[in-house]
């Protein structure tokens, strides 16, 4: 089973690239972030024409997440629990059947950016991550394979930025943000990419400004975290970096895993 995550940065603006990539990469499940579309306006038809079921949790103009699946989507649940007043569309959970008469729980998550530091936006980021920790604890207790995929808006280590010194005043690289990420792995989640390589110069995001893509001035903020039951089945990890060079690209690229 091939599961991918991609911050699409506006599904309508990137629809041609999304459809091309779906045909090329043929993932079984795709977690999208920043669809920037209400549910009713999501461009389902060309995606469904490729054989995908579509679930969305959107809002107008920003945020929004979706799950695309060649397999049936069951128990689709929007919103991260823990704050009933939080109306931002950042979390979508679903169950998909695997190849062994079992299931894989999949989450598409778009974590808060948190900038500027010292404002309520940074406090919201940290509070959201605390809610996510509680969700992880609940799901780990089920002892089933699950994949927490998305744009975490967190640079885990210095090796995950071309120029880490340029990010010291950014919410993505603050000690509190990185510690929140470590708490997830300390609970027993496995970060897919770092199980197969400790190499540098591996990025998933390049800003549109200052020739960041051309200079390979990137950061790695898109991750897939696996429960022990999913990690035991990890067969491959990849980043489709070439997509960033396409016409009208997202500033992120797809990251994917294969489960045996």
Q: Please tell me the total count of domains within the chain.
A: 1
- Residue 7 among known ligand-binding residues: yes
Q: Which pLDDT value is given to residue 108?
A: 98
Reduced to 3 states (helix: H, G, I; strand: E, B; else coil), residue 218 is strand
C-alpha atoms less than 13 angstroms from C-alpha of 134 in its C-beta half-sphere: 9
Sheet of strand 222-226: strand arrangement: 74-78, 91-97, 103-110, 146-151, 222-226, 190-191
Q: Would you call 180 helix, strand, or coil by DSSP?
A: helix
Q: What single DSSP character describes residue 115?
A: P
What is the mean pLDDT, run by run of 10 residues, along the chain of 260 residues? 98 98 98 98 98 97 97 97 96 93 95 97 98 97 97 98 98 98 97 96 97 97 98 98 98 97
Instruction: Give the phi and the psi of residue 223 in degrees, each rounded to 5.
Output: -135, 160
- Local structure of 44: helix, strand or coil: helix
Active site residues: 110, 151, 252
Backbone angles phi, psi at 117, to 5 degrees: -60, 145
Note the pTM of the prediction, 2 decimals: 0.97
151 annotated to bind ligand: yes
Report the distance separating Cα 59 and Cα 40, nearest Å: 10
Which residue range forms the structural domain that includes residue 158?
2-259
Check the annotation: does 251 bind a ligand. yes
Res 99: pLDDT: 81
Sign of the CA dihedral running 183, 187, 190, 194: positive
Task: Give the per-residue pLDDT at 101.
Answer: 80
């Amino acid at each position: 089973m091939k599961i991918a995550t991609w911050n699409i940065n506006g599904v309508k603006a990137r629809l041609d690239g999304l459809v091309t990539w779906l045909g090329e990469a043929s993932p079984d499940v795709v977690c999208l972030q920043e669809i920037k579309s209400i549910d009713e306006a999501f461009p389902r038809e060309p995606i469904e024409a490729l054989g995908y079921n579509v679930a969305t949790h959107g809002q107008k103009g920003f945020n929004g997440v979706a799950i695309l699946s060649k397999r049936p989507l069951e128990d689709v649940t929007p919103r991260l629990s823990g704050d009933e007043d939080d109306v931002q569309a950042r979390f979508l959970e679903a169950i998909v059947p695997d190849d062994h008469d079992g299931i894989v729980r999949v989450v598409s998550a778009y974590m808060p950016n948190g900038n500027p530091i010292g404002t309520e936006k940074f406090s919201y980021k940290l509070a959201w991550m605390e809610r996510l920790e509680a969700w992880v604890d609940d799901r780990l207790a089920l002892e089933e394979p699950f994949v927490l995929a998305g744009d975490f808006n967190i640079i885990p280590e210095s090796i995950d930025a071309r120029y880490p010194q340029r990010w010291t005043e950014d919410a993505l690289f603050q000690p509190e943000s990185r510690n929140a990420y470590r708490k997830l792995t300390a609970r027993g989640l496995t970060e897919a990419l770092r199980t197969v390589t400790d190499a540098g110069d591996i990025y998933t995001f390049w800003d549109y400004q200052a020739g960041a893509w051309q200079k390979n001035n990137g950061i790695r903020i898109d991750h897939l975290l696996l429960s022990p039951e999913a990690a035991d089945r990890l067969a491959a990890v990849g980043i489709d970096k070439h997509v960033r060079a396409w016409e009208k690209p997202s500033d992120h690229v797809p990251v994917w895993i294969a489960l045996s």
